[in-house]
Amino acid sequence: MKRELGIARCGLACCVCSENVNCHGCDSNECPDNDTCENKKCSLQKEVSHCYMCEEDCKKGLLSQIKPYTFTMFIKKYGEDKLLDCLEENEKNGILYHREGLIGDYDDFDDAEQLMHFILTGKR
Protein backbone atom coordinates (compact mmCIF):
# COMPACT_ATOMS: atom_id res chain seq x y z
CA MET A 1 0.00 0.00 0.00
CA LYS A 2 1.21 3.47 -0.89
CA ARG A 3 -0.89 5.48 1.55
CA GLU A 4 0.51 8.78 0.29
CA LEU A 5 -1.34 8.25 -3.02
CA GLY A 6 -4.63 8.37 -1.11
CA ILE A 7 -8.01 8.34 -2.77
CA ALA A 8 -8.89 9.61 -6.26
CA ARG A 9 -11.48 12.36 -6.72
CA CYS A 10 -14.11 9.74 -7.62
CA GLY A 11 -13.37 7.48 -4.65
CA LEU A 12 -11.13 4.90 -6.30
CA ALA A 13 -8.24 3.91 -4.05
CA CYS A 14 -5.02 5.05 -5.71
CA CYS A 15 -3.12 3.88 -2.62
CA VAL A 16 -3.73 0.19 -3.39
CA CYS A 17 -3.99 0.39 -7.19
CA SER A 18 -1.58 -1.90 -9.02
CA GLU A 19 -1.49 0.68 -11.83
CA ASN A 20 -0.02 3.33 -9.50
CA VAL A 21 3.51 2.81 -10.85
CA ASN A 22 2.50 4.72 -13.98
CA CYS A 23 -0.19 6.97 -12.50
CA HIS A 24 0.38 10.19 -10.63
CA GLY A 25 -3.23 10.87 -9.68
CA CYS A 26 -6.16 12.91 -10.88
CA ASP A 27 -4.43 16.26 -10.60
CA SER A 28 -1.35 15.22 -12.57
CA ASN A 29 -3.28 15.65 -15.84
CA GLU A 30 -1.57 12.42 -17.01
CA CYS A 31 -4.65 10.22 -16.78
CA PRO A 32 -5.82 8.94 -20.18
CA ASP A 33 -9.33 10.09 -19.19
CA ASN A 34 -8.15 13.50 -17.97
CA ASP A 35 -10.12 15.49 -20.54
CA THR A 36 -13.28 13.39 -20.34
CA CYS A 37 -13.52 12.43 -16.65
CA GLU A 38 -16.96 13.57 -15.52
CA ASN A 39 -16.01 13.35 -11.83
CA LYS A 40 -12.92 15.50 -12.25
CA LYS A 41 -14.81 18.11 -14.27
CA CYS A 42 -17.66 18.22 -11.76
CA SER A 43 -15.45 18.42 -8.67
CA LEU A 44 -13.35 21.18 -10.26
CA GLN A 45 -16.52 23.08 -11.15
CA LYS A 46 -17.79 22.72 -7.57
CA GLU A 47 -14.34 23.61 -6.22
CA VAL A 48 -13.97 20.47 -4.13
CA SER A 49 -10.99 18.14 -4.18
CA HIS A 50 -13.02 14.90 -4.00
CA CYS A 51 -16.57 13.75 -4.74
CA TYR A 52 -16.98 12.81 -1.08
CA MET A 53 -16.81 16.53 -0.23
CA CYS A 54 -19.97 17.19 -2.25
CA GLU A 55 -23.33 17.20 -0.49
CA GLU A 56 -25.11 15.37 -3.33
CA ASP A 57 -25.74 11.63 -3.45
CA CYS A 58 -24.36 11.45 -6.97
CA LYS A 59 -23.91 8.57 -9.38
CA LYS A 60 -22.27 10.48 -12.23
CA GLY A 61 -19.28 9.12 -14.10
CA LEU A 62 -17.35 6.50 -12.16
CA LEU A 63 -19.76 6.90 -9.26
CA SER A 64 -22.18 4.81 -11.32
CA GLN A 65 -19.97 1.85 -10.36
CA ILE A 66 -20.41 0.20 -6.97
CA LYS A 67 -16.79 0.39 -5.76
CA PRO A 68 -16.07 4.12 -6.19
CA TYR A 69 -19.62 4.99 -5.11
CA THR A 70 -19.34 2.93 -1.91
CA PHE A 71 -15.84 4.20 -1.15
CA THR A 72 -17.17 7.76 -1.49
CA MET A 73 -20.12 6.98 0.80
CA PHE A 74 -17.77 5.26 3.26
CA ILE A 75 -15.59 8.38 3.46
CA LYS A 76 -18.65 10.59 3.95
CA LYS A 77 -19.65 8.39 6.89
CA TYR A 78 -16.31 7.43 8.49
CA GLY A 79 -13.64 9.68 6.94
CA GLU A 80 -10.79 9.11 4.52
CA ASP A 81 -8.32 7.97 7.20
CA LYS A 82 -10.69 5.19 8.29
CA LEU A 83 -11.01 3.97 4.69
CA LEU A 84 -7.24 3.99 4.28
CA ASP A 85 -6.83 2.13 7.59
CA CYS A 86 -9.37 -0.51 6.54
CA LEU A 87 -7.84 -0.95 3.09
CA GLU A 88 -4.39 -1.34 4.65
CA GLU A 89 -5.59 -3.89 7.21
CA ASN A 90 -7.56 -5.80 4.59
CA GLU A 91 -4.54 -5.89 2.29
CA LYS A 92 -2.43 -7.34 5.14
CA ASN A 93 -5.12 -10.03 5.47
CA GLY A 94 -4.95 -10.96 1.78
CA ILE A 95 -7.83 -8.88 0.42
CA LEU A 96 -6.70 -7.44 -2.90
CA TYR A 97 -7.91 -4.29 -4.61
CA HIS A 98 -6.71 -5.70 -7.95
CA ARG A 99 -6.57 -9.47 -8.28
CA GLU A 100 -7.01 -9.97 -12.04
CA GLY A 101 -6.25 -6.83 -14.01
CA LEU A 102 -8.36 -4.09 -12.49
CA ILE A 103 -10.84 -6.50 -10.87
CA GLY A 104 -10.36 -7.41 -7.23
CA ASP A 105 -12.08 -8.48 -4.04
CA TYR A 106 -13.99 -5.20 -3.67
CA ASP A 107 -15.65 -5.72 -7.06
CA ASP A 108 -17.67 -8.79 -6.07
CA PHE A 109 -20.57 -6.75 -4.69
CA ASP A 110 -23.76 -5.24 -6.04
CA ASP A 111 -24.95 -3.73 -2.74
CA ALA A 112 -23.24 -0.71 -1.19
CA GLU A 113 -24.10 -1.70 2.40
CA GLN A 114 -22.61 -5.18 1.94
CA LEU A 115 -19.46 -3.70 0.42
CA MET A 116 -19.22 -1.17 3.25
CA HIS A 117 -19.47 -4.03 5.77
CA PHE A 118 -16.73 -5.90 3.87
CA ILE A 119 -14.47 -2.84 3.95
CA LEU A 120 -14.97 -2.49 7.71
CA THR A 121 -14.63 -6.16 8.66
CA GLY A 122 -12.86 -7.90 5.83
CA LYS A 123 -15.63 -10.49 5.96
CA ARG A 124 -18.37 -11.22 3.44
Residue 42 φ/ψ, nearest 5 degrees? -65, -45
Mean pLDDT score of the chain: 92
Q: What ranges do the domains of the chain cover?
A: 3-121
Q: Would you state the pLDDT for residue 113?
A: 97
Cα 118 from Cα 102, distance rounded (Å): 18
Q: Would you state the pLDDT for residue 71?
A: 98
Percent helix, strand and coil across the chain, each to the nearest 5: 50, 0, 50
Query: What is this structure's pTM?
Result: 0.93
CB 95 within 8 A of CB 105: yes
Model pLDDT for residues 35-72, shown as the tens digit of each residue:
899 999 999 999 999 999 999 999 999 999 999 999 99
Q: What is the DSSP letter of 52?
A: G
